[in-house]
Chain A
Amino acid sequence: MSPGIEGAPLLEVRDLEVSFRVRDGEVRASRGVSLAVHAGETVGLVGESGSGKSVLCRAVLRLLPEPAAQVKGGRVLFDGTDLLALPEARMREIRGTDIAMVFQNPMTSLSPVWPVGDQITEGLRVHRGLSRAAAREQGIALMRATGIPEPGRRFDDHPWQWSGGMLQRAVIAMAMACSPRLLLADEPTTALDVTIQEQILALLAQLQADSGMAMVLVSHDIGVVAETCDRIAVMYAGMVVESGPATEVLGNPRHPYTLGLLGSSPRVDDAGHRLDPIPGQPPDLAQVSAGCPFAARCGFASEECHRTQVRLADVAPGHASACLFPERIR
């Protein structure tokens, strides 16, 4: 199935600016982020902690912790509608129906006091007006579709009775309940063992193929993104620094940070070569310079990089880099 790259994107984030108020000033957590996701497509967001991946997802669903977090500018267009301009009541209808989200830790996204089945089907009862019995029937079908064994018997279990992998299946079932057109998966497998991760990624791909939904997959693991995504956006210090087709971005990186991430990642299929780490520390978002945020750690940087504001620009059709000198990376 080839994703419909042509035509208007299902989700389009334009120049998103998000700031967090802190004691001594402001932290710009999202600095002019733009991202497009088409129907049926999987877009990977990679980057290290604090790069703004989760802030982007939460801003789309308007789940940022206000008033500490403020959207200072930009638009979030979903199927042409600016979500940032919608009244809260309308937004509440969209959450869970048109756009659903899966969080990293399944234990904290489920209530410990309610049966898992009731939580999976809450959306069906609230948004679709299903009766308890009808919701239960659909809930069991969802549990079966997500590979939860003996769903009929387990519907009334509480979260503590389940393993982490099974809980993540439940959270995915909950997200899929109202057949969303867009799924935001924020590190959905980070808390899981690698063999369970394999199963959850398989499940997400299967559900996506069956439903044609679009997916944003957030991960710090470049391997997970490489194996799952059509396109990739690499984030650093609240900016998208490189974006494009997954094979292009990872096979022919045109931003030094992407190159650094690839050099830092140990490979299971490549023995004994020495890692090539990115020197220095991740940036302090409260003190990002006017120039390129990566300049301080960049082996290719020159004087201009420290003072010139950078923007994503095409280096090839569909492949963009926010590096002033992408030709230096070869």
Chain B
Amino acid sequence: MTGTGATTSPVLLEVRAVNVRFPRPRSVLDVLARRPASAMEAVREASLRIAPGETLGLVGESGSGKTTLGRAILQLHPVAAGEILYRGRSVHDPMPDWQRRLRREVQMVFQDPYSSLNPRMTVAQTLSEVLRFHAVVPAAGVAAEARRLMELVGLSASLADRLPRAMSGGQRQRVGLARALAVRPALLVLDEPVAALDVSIQAQILNLLDDLRHELGLAMLFVAHDLSVVRHVSDRVAVMYRGRLVEQGSREEIFARPAHPYTRMLLAAVPRVGAGKRARQVQPDTDLATPPEGCAFAPRCALAAEACRAGLPPERKLGPPPGAACHFAAS
């Protein structure tokens, strides 16, 4: 279940050196002056693997590219370089039956269930539509299957005829989950599934996800900014910074022995309940507008030396997975 030896365990999803590029907006003047279109690299040379039944937590701060990478797996963003393999076959293979299979086996759950549910469809309608479209069960069994799904995610049957706006955030997120699970996927990509929820409801959903992945043998890519949440759900953890994966490892490794200075900085910044009032060091803001040559973290890194700012990013030489993309990674 917990696939740590990434080379020997079976692989469900493999992301190989993927780049995702977004074109920069061009003004009319740019077009008239025939300035060439430029692009920003949202994800750079990202590689990761997920074994069947395994949960990989993908953490990073805003703008790190974690959401973009998750969406690229679902083909919601085109890939500029590299490949994404599901069960050893490219997700971009256009064969219609392969694409249909992918759309069943790989499902996504979004952060804001309110904007990802049809506001005019009740819970029962939302679930029945998916069940019918993918012919998951015979037509006569659709209503019963919808009820089973609602029970699976802890929604009371009395909510079947509710519209999204008549439900709480936690209930809507359960509907989003039920819809994703309706097609019996093997891999769920969850993008900040609990970030918009209050802590008591967040805990309910996290426990539910934990139950579901054990009951159904689901693999998950859990994208989140909150390290405490990621620690709770993940078998392995990947850390992203400014488009690059800077460290990957088992949950125990990442939280007990973080190797990359950025991972250590992130962990140190998470507020803890037990320790009482804590003195902090005031630091001036760092200008992060222009990505530097070399290691992207170097401007904020206490350990950064000349080698880190040199032309070739150290990620190339020491790159994951697993391990840390740093010249000075603590061993």
Residues on A lying within 8 angstroms of B by beta carbon are 48-49, 147-149, 163-166, 169, 193-199, 201-203, 205-206, 220-224, 226-230, 246-247, 250, 260-269, 271-272, 274-279, 281-282
**B203 sits at the interface (CB 8 A):** yes
Residues on the A chain within 8 Å of B280, using CB: 198-199, 201-202, 205
CB closest chain-B residue, reference A230? B277
Residues on the A chain within 8 Å of B226, using CB: 194, 266
| A227-B275 contact in complex given A195-B266, A268-B231, C-beta closer than 8 Å | yes
- A268 in contact with B270 (CB, 8 Å): yes
Separation of A313 and B176 alpha carbons in the complex (Å): 43
- B273 in contact with A250 (CB, 8 Å): yes
Compute the total of residue contacts between A and B using a CB distance below 8 Å: 151
Residues on the B chain within 8 Å of A269, using CB: 272, 274
- State which residues 73-98 of B face A: CB under 8 Å: none
Residues on the A chain within 8 Å of B273, using CB: 222-223, 226, 250, 262, 265, 267
Residues on the B chain within 8 Å of A267, using CB: 228, 231, 272-273
Q: Tell me the smallest distance from the CB of B315 to a CB of chain A, in Å.
A: 20
Separation of A30 and B198 alpha carbons in the complex (Å): 19
Looking at the complex, which of B17-25, B281-289, B323-331 is the stretch in contact with chain A? B281-289
| A221-B288 contact in complex given A194-B225, A230-B277, A275-B203, C-beta closer than 8 Å | no
- A49 in contact with B207 (CB, 8 Å): no
Q: What 10 A-B pairs have minimum CB-CB distances, sorted nearest first?
A: A223-B271, A202-B280, A277-B203, A264-B203, A193-B61, A48-B198, A278-B200, A198-B269, A266-B228, A275-B203
Q: Tell me the smallest distance from the CB of A301 to a CB of chain B, in Å.
A: 16
Separation of A271 and B274 alpha carbons in the complex (Å): 14
Beyond A222-B273, A266-B226, 7 additional pairs, beta carbon < 8 A: A48-B199, A223-B270, A265-B228, A274-B207, A278-B200, A281-B171, A282-B168
| A220-B199 contact in complex given A202-B283, A206-B282, C-beta closer than 8 Å | yes
**B229 sits at the interface (CB 8 A):** yes
| A266-B271 contact in complex given A48-B198, A278-B203, C-beta closer than 8 Å | no
- A147 in contact with B282 (CB, 8 Å): yes
| A149-B277 contact in complex given A195-B265, A275-B203, C-beta closer than 8 Å | no
Choose among A149, A163, A220, A262 the residue with the greatest number of B CB atoms under 10 Å from its CB: A163
- B285 in contact with A147 (CB, 8 Å): yes
Residues on the B chain within 8 Å of A169, using CB: 285
**B279 sits at the interface (CB 8 A):** yes
Q: Tell me the smallest distance from the CB of B27 to a CB of chain A, in Å.
A: 15
**B276 sits at the interface (CB 8 A):** yes
Separation of A260 and B228 alpha carbons in the complex (Å): 17
- A149 in contact with B287 (CB, 8 Å): yes
Residues on the A chain within 8 Å of B171, using CB: 281
- B61 in contact with A220 (CB, 8 Å): no
Residues on the B chain within 8 Å of A221, using CB: 271
Separation of A282 and B278 alpha carbons in the complex (Å): 31
Q: Tell me the smallest distance from the CB of B110 to a CB of chain A, in Å.
A: 19
Contact of A275 among B232, B270, B272 (CB under 8 A): B232
CB closest chain-A residue, reference B60? A193
- A223 in contact with B272 (CB, 8 Å): yes
Q: Tell me the smallest distance from the CB of A244 to a CB of chain B, in Å.
A: 14
Residues on the B chain within 8 Å of A147, using CB: 282-285
Q: Tell me the smallest distance from the CB of A238 to a CB of chain B, in Å.
A: 15
Separation of A105 and B226 alpha carbons in the complex (Å): 19
Separation of A164 and B203 alpha carbons in the complex (Å): 28
CB closest chain-A residue, reference B64? A193
CB closest chain-B residue, reference A262? B273
Separation of A268 and B276 alpha carbons in the complex (Å): 15
- A205 in contact with B279 (CB, 8 Å): yes
Separation of A297 and B271 alpha carbons in the complex (Å): 27
